Amino acid sequence: QRWRERRLTGHDGLIESKAARQLLRERFGLEKLVISATSLEDVFGCPFDYFQKHVLGLERWEEPEATVVIESKDLGTLYHDILEDFFKNGGELTAVMQRHFDRFEREGVTGYPSLWAIKKEVVRDELTAFVARDRTGDWRPSEFEKKFDGIAVAAPVRLRGKIDRIDLSTDG
């Protein structure tokens, strides 16, 4: 009998109780949603992956011994950490890079040493060129990792997160 029905029922997940729907709306409704840009990317990339990661708290199993080259995520973090450290604390760029290279090597995320040596040269060249270009402009780093929370993007959804770097012009 149930399989012949064309309408959804409680067996399909339909919640008919107005009180139950109101409780769910109050607890989980979009009005309460404040989400990061990364989480939005996860939702649109694969809703099931979002559910596993952000609702169930599951993470993908990583096997360190299977790392041949540094993963893209780790490489992005390396670039970010080096630039933030350099612009916040100053010092010589080469020394700042080496400190972070050493840390990533200790963490075991760099892959095979011969491939890592090549990747380090690429990172050195790219960051040296980036910093040189960055210094020629009229903008200077002012703040790093600036948090924001509850910015309305499309009612009722609000966005939260961090801005990596805020620059101010040299003329104020």
pLDDT digits (tens, 9 = 90+) for 14-62: 888 999 888 877 777 766 677 788 888 888 888 888 888 877 888 877 6
- The mean pLDDT value for 130-144 works out to 91
Residue 86: other Cβ atoms inside 10 A: 19
109: nearest Cα among 75, 80, 135, 138: 75
Residue-level pLDDT at 151: 82
**What local confidence, expressed as pLDDT, does residue 122 receive?**
98
Query: Residue 1 pLDDT more than 60?
Result: no
Q: Looking at per-residue confidence, does 135 or 2 come out higher?
A: 135
36: which 2 tokens?
């990061």
Which residue is listed with tokens 């095979």? Answer: 112
What was the pLDDT predicted at 85?
96
DSSP assigned state of 100: H
pLDDT above 70: percentage of residues in the chain:
92
pLDDT score recorded for residue 31: 67
Using DSSP, state whether 172 is helix, strand or coil: coil
Report which of 67, 136, 126, 68 is spatially closest to residue 97, judged by C-alpha positions.
126
What pLDDT is attached to residue 113? 94
Q: Which of 71, 102, 97 is nearest to 85 (CA)?
A: 97
- Of the chain, the percentage scoring pLDDT greater than 90 comes to 46
- Using DSSP's 3-state secondary structure scheme, residue 93 falls into helix
111: which residues sit within 8 A by CB, 6+ positions away?
67, 68, 69, 70
The pLDDT, as a whole number, for residue 157 is: 76
Q: Which residue has the tokens 């400190």?
A: 99
